[in-house]
Structure 1
Amino acid sequence: MPVMTRATERTAGLVRAVRREQLGSPTPCEKFDVEKLVNHLEWVAEMFESLGRGGPALEQGPYAGDFPERAARTLAAWSRPGAWEGVSSAMGLPMTTLAHMFLVDMVVHGWDLAMATGQEYEPDPEAVARALAFTEQMVEMGRRRGVFGTPVTVPQDARPFDRLLGLIGRDPAWSPLP
């Protein structure tokens, strides 16, 4: 829970710092500009709050501009006793798997947002280690479901975060400039 909290709060801080004129900017996540990425984060927070409370998977709604508030509710849901136990009836996956899915989204989309908006981003090393280990186990399923892109080759001795980015299809050297 502390790792999830740190990653989520870091991403919420990045979202708070986005300026209105940046909403149309491209991100390293090719299918999203900044506004669509923040909207995706809003949906992720809302859905994982529901799942953390034993509720259903939810459809994505329109952009609301309230990710930090949704993220706080998600953390509250996952901090409840027993939230990490058992299997989600909505997703058919262990609750620990869902928690790791959320963590990967917070760590990677935090980087996406920081790169797109010119913010500093240094992810928590423990969050990166957990996200990388989880993603290495789930990457093929993620690709089949269209969640991860084609891998980007990074040097064998690359730092763990760059390996995570490359594994899911992000170029660690991405820049908004052509």
Structure 2
Amino acid sequence: MKKHLLLAQAAPVTLAVVDLVKPGDLDRATPCAEWDVRALCAHLLEWGPPLEGAARKESVPPGDGSGDVRGQFERLAAGWSAPAAWEGMTVMATMELPADMVGGMVLAEFVLHGWDLARALDVPIAFPDDVLLLMYDEVARTADQGRAMGVYGPEVAVPADAPLFDRVLGLSGRTPG
């Protein structure tokens, strides 16, 4: 299946969790080291604009960390639902990168940070297997670079026969369950 269609499948799953976040949840801890829900939302709002701009092949500076998380996710999903967003090169803030690599980062925003929010709220989250297969490939492709940049933690050992989502999480440095 085409990557832009898989992102479109991931978006509503994450948006359903985003819709559950209430003001009283902002101080809840997430699986992300040193981030509560408020800090995770600020991260999403800071890096959402450059990722959104990258879908249009435009350089956009990071946001100020405030705003509407749902709206930001909707704009990301809309921008990256276009097949052309995944083609050629693009700009992430000021760095030129392969567009499909940045698209993989966007998918990670939905899948990994969707899971982070779900864990903080203690609600289940599940993505289609096709989405998780792509996510695993994307994390594997960028894991070393991500760890060097502090985006991913050290790989968490997960049994080879563990569910695919657990293997994705472990590869990204998250402890499943």
Hey, what does 1:149 align to over in structure 2? Answer: 153
Q: Does 1:110 align with 2:114?
A: yes
CA distance in 1, matches of 2:122, 2:28: 11
Question: Structure 1: which 5+ residue stretches go unaligned?
Answer: 174-178
Query: Which stretch shifts more, 84-93 or 100-109?
Result: 84-93
Q: Secondary structure at the residue paired with 1:93?
A: strand
CA distance in 2, matches of 1:68, 1:140: 30
CA distance in 2, matches of 1:49, 1:164: 24
Q: Does 1:45 align with 2:48?
A: yes
Hey, what does 2:133 align to over in structure 1? Answer: 129
Q: Does 1:20 align with 2:23?
A: yes
Deviation at 1:165, TM superposition (A): 0.8
Hey, what does 2:79 align to over in structure 1? Answer: 77
CA distance in 2, matches of 1:129, 1:26: 28
Hey, what does 1:176 align to over in structure 2? Answer: none
Identity of aligned residues (%): 33
CA distance in 2, matches of 1:2, 1:50: 19
- Give deviations 1:63-90, integer Å, cap 9, x for gaps: 32x1221222222222346222211144
State the aligned residue count. Answer: 172
Normalising by the residue count of structure 2, what TM-score does the alignment of the two structures yield? 0.89
CA distance in 2, matches of 1:153, 1:82: 36
Question: Structure 2: which 5+ residue stretches go unaligned?
Answer: none
Query: Which stretch shifts more, 135-144 or 69-78?
Result: 69-78
Residue 62 and residue 135 in structure 1: after superposition, are their counterparts in 2 closer, same or farther (change >3 A)?
A: closer
CA distance in 1, matches of 2:66, 2:90: 26
Query: Which residue type is aligned with residue 105 of structure 1?
Result: E
Normalising by the residue count of structure 1, what TM-score does the alignment of the two structures yield? 0.88
Deviation at 1:57, TM superposition (A): 4.4
Residue 41 and residue 6 in structure 1: after superposition, are their counterparts in 2 closer, same or farther (change >3 A)?
A: farther
Once the two structures are superposed, the pairs formed by residues 159-178 of structure 1 within 5 Å of their partners are 159-173=163-177
Query: Which residue type is aligned with residue 115 of structure 1?
Result: R
Residue 34 and residue 161 in structure 1: after superposition, are their counterparts in 2 closer, same or farther (change >3 A)?
A: same
CA RMSD after TM alignment: 1.6
- Give deviations 1:97-138, integer Å, cap 9, x for gaps: 111111012101111100110222112211110010121121
Which structure dedicates a bigger proportion of its chain to strand?
2
Indicate if the aligned counterparts of 1:29 and 1:112 stay in contact, CA closer than 8 A. Answer: yes
CA distance in 1, matches of 2:82, 2:118: 30
